[in-house]
């Protein structure tokens, strides 16, 4: 790795160290990935695994998030990410609802989906397509 790259990464992680981040994800594999990639680099990291808990966290007057990273789809059954999205209904794509509430609170929103066109919304500041690499995620967070 070049010295310029190392310096850029250090600067990126320093900016992230002041941020309070909420991850909205129902897939344990992605949650573990987020924890590994982000948790030690930010001020705080919380996780909500469904729409109800995400909205409760975002609207909690005791907390104030700088960034919300939301998945697009939240089906009512386990294992959807392994089965694909072919059998999901429009109601399963709750990421837009979460993004709307976060934007109303003035929070920066990153949407992550394997089908980003479905998640596209004026309430989402940056849209990443699964799979993504950690540098893309870090850059999106500090934008």
pTM score, whole prediction: 0.85
- Sorting pLDDT into bands at 50, 70 and 90, what band is 130? confident
CA distance 73 to 61: 26
- R_g of the chain computed on alpha carbons: 15
Give the tens place of pLDDT for each residue, 31-67: 999 999 999 999 999 999 988 999 999 999 888 999 9
What per-residue confidence (pLDDT) applies to 126? 93
What per-residue confidence (pLDDT) applies to 76? 59
What per-residue confidence (pLDDT) applies to 88? 63
Say if residues 65 and 58 touch (Cβ distance below 8 Å).
Answer: yes
What's the residue count for the chain? Answer: 143
What per-residue confidence (pLDDT) applies to 82? 47
Q: Give percent above pLDDT 70 in the chain.
A: 84
CA distance 20 to 81: 26
3-142 falls under which CATH superfamily? Answer: Response regulator (3.40.50.2300)
- Per-residue pLDDT averaged across 3-23, rounded? 88
What per-residue confidence (pLDDT) applies to 45? 96
Give the tens place of pLDDT for each residue, 90-114: 666 678 889 999 999 999 999 988 8
Q: Where do the domains of the chain lie?
A: 3-142
Q: Among the listed ranges 35-39, 77-81, 139-143, which one has the minimum average pLDDT value?
A: 77-81
């Amino acid at each position: 790795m070049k010295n310029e790259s190392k310096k850029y990464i250090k600067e990126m992680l320093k900016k992230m160290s002041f941020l309070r981040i909420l991850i909205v994800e129902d897939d344990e594999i992605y949650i573990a990935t987020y924890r590994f990639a982000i948790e030690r680099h930010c001020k705080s990291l919380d996780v909500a695994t469904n729409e109800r808990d995400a909205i409760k966290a975002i609207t909690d007057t005791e907390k104030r998030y700088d960034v919300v990273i939301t998945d697009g789809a939240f089906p009512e059954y386990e294992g959807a990410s392994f089965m694909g999205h072919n059998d999901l209904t429009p109601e399963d794509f709750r990421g837009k609802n979460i993004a709307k509430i976060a934007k109303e609170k003035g929070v920066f929103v990153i949407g992550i989906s394997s089908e980003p066109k479905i998640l596209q919304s004026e309430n989402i500041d940056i849209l990443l397509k699964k799979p993504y690499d950690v540098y893309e995620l870090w850059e999106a967070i500090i934008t």
